Structure 1
Amino acid sequence: MLETNIGEKFLGLFYHDIKDHELVGCNSRVNLHVLRIANNKFDYSNLVYELYDSIITYCLSPRELEELAGTPGGKKFFLAVNKLKEHENNDGELGEILLYCLLESHLKAPKIMTKMELKTSSSDYVKGADGIHLLQLNDSDFHLIFGESKLNKKFQRGLYEAFKSIDEYIKRPKNNINDEVLLINSHLIKEAITDEQYKYLKKIIIPSAQDDELNTDRAFGIFIGFDLELEDADWLLPNKTFRQKVRKLIVETVEKEYQYIENKVKEKGLHGYTFYIFALPFFELDITRKKVIENLKGASNDF
């Protein structure tokens, strides 16, 4: 089987303030991860350091990594960051990277492929899921998880955009979820896996109706990065008071949208799918998402 590349060390960057909360009647689990707060700021600096390694396995395929085995890590990093868009025009790739990291570290769902692997340059545009992961539930049941990442100032608006994209992805006549499964099937043989692994994964991804041993359902991993706006007086609070207030506010922001998520699943008729929803707040989202990418591409860290 495939193995994950992102482990517990990544999760150590975050407070896990909502843990696998199951919503009623809509096969959805919500997780809230909040970056560690120090000196009344989110710890973006350590996030950047951790992403130096993460983007290598996010951007490069197993075959590319196998071909680079034994070469200095700097070359892998260079090839990976060159697939990222320039930060000035990069509004979404940070969310895609973070979703990959959380699916691997929190769910223990290894990636099958990401859209970044299909890019040959930073200017390429690849339509479809942000990434595709495989989650083994037990010996016979699996979830093929399609990633959808949205960064928006408002948490609810991010949810709206995510469910809209997912609904279109399932229902549009071309470049839809079924086409993506066929793409996965053709992509597998190009990866650096053994013949035995290839046959087993192919059997999981497109199981035969004549074979009751394996069952694979499609699911979605949703990452919503949103902006947290505070009053001017909040920034002047003592450190401990600031942490307590901010973490409480973030939890309340996410919890009040539980009903909205349930309504969206019902409205779009998506009860047959499972949703793994990850929420992560930012301060100054529009600035921060570009600044993180700028630091990654420049191998710097000025947070």
Structure 2
Amino acid sequence: MLNQFSPHVDENFLDLFYHEIQSFELDRYNTKINLHTLKIENNIFVYSELVEKLFDCIVTYCLSRKELEIYKNNKGIYVKAIQRLRKWENNDGELGEVLLYCFLESHLRAPKIFTKMELKTSPNDYVKASDGVHVLQVDKNNFQLIFGESKLEKTFQRSLYDAFNSINDFINRSTNNIHDEIRLLNTHLEKESISPALYNVLKKIIMPSAREDEIFKDNAFGIFAGFEITVDDDSRKLSNSEFRKMIRTKIKLEVESQYSYIQKKIDEHKLYGTTFYVYAFPFVEISNTRKRIIKNLMEATNDF
């Protein structure tokens, strides 16, 4: 049904990462956990290769499908895209939003319908919405609208805490809530559709008719939980193979240790019947690294 609506981010994006945890399902909690650890060479993460990949992804993240069609032969398309990013000095969150978009498209194969970047008319605009909306065809007649929530904090647990609290607020607040966003998505749908046929298909998925009883839609959430890991000089002195084994094991154990915490947050907010796709992602020196990556994207350079 969505043959014409394929993701922009190719599956080869995933070649950059060790897939430590692949869609681990928490029993009875409708939650799939993924851990993608950036490739390691010479005892450091290859942020330079990540930046190279993101040069292409940032364009399709920031611009709608209609804009991509209009500007596809324009050499300034990259500049048009990055003009929507906040200045890197004060940019603490947009890298997580971009990476979540990349994982939902490349790993889950859920194409984006739109992101809040498309609603911005200037870099300083504040859009109180989910980080993006993707659509996933579960089977022939069942679909999910996946709302993005990205958090980058010092610890994995803190990222989870902030993400689930934000999701609960998004569902339950009186205005700018999930229902308002679905209505907004419905009115902005023409920005993402190229053909009238595709427009009609997406419209039916977003606002399915119970009377027709042909399409079933549920809401889900994609969570990007960035966190910091510490690497001391003694660890860096290990052999390359020892270092890789040590750091990958350390990161995996950290994520696995928070399975019960995820269950606790779902219980606390009674978020039953909602599917969560959690993407855990470790950073070294998270505050500096995320700003440095955004700076490189905004300046079209790569200083890693």
* TM-score calculated relative to the size of structure 1: 0.98
Compute the displacement of 1:234 (Å).
1.1
Compute the displacement of 1:192 (Å).
4.1
Does residue 85 of structure 2 align to residue 68 of structure 1? Answer: no
Comparing 154-163 with 192-201, greater Cα deviation is found at: 192-201
Compute the displacement of 1:213 (Å).
1.3
Q: Which runs of 4+ in 1 moved over 6 A?
A: none
1:271 is aligned to 272
2:179 is aligned to 178
2:119 is aligned to 118
Aligned CA-pair RMSD? 0.9
CA contact (8 A) 1:24 1:262 kept: no
1:12-23 mapped onto 2 (5 Å cutoff): 12-23=15-26
2:263 is aligned to 262
Residue type at the aligned position of 1:194 = S
1:1-303 mapped onto 2 (5 Å cutoff): 1=2, 2-72=5-75, 75-303=76-304
Provide the C-alpha distance between the structure 2 equivalents of 1:35 and 1:230, rounded to a whole number of angstroms: 14
Residue type at the aligned position of 1:58 = Y
Structure 1 residues 212-246: Cα deviation after superposition (integer angstroms, max 9, x where no partner): 21100000000011000134421211111000000
Residue type at the aligned position of 1:30 = I
CA contact (8 A) 2:229 2:282 kept: yes
Structure 1 residues 154-173: Cα deviation after superposition (integer angstroms, max 9, x where no partner): 00000000000000000000
Q: Is there any run of 5+ residues in structure 2 with no aligned partner, and where?
A: none
Provide the C-alpha distance between the structure 2 equivalents of 1:230 and 1:296, rounded to a whole number of angstroms: 25
The sequence identity of aligned pairs, in percent, is 53
Structure 1 residues 171-195: Cα deviation after superposition (integer angstroms, max 9, x where no partner): 0000000000000000002334211
Residue type at the aligned position of 1:42 = F
> The residue matched to 2:227 in structure 1 has which SS?
strand
Q: Is there any run of 5+ residues in structure 1 with no aligned partner, and where?
A: none
Tell me the matched-pair count: 301
Structure 1 residues 33-70: Cα deviation after superposition (integer angstroms, max 9, x where no partner): 00000111111000000000000000001111111132
Residue type at the aligned position of 1:206 = M
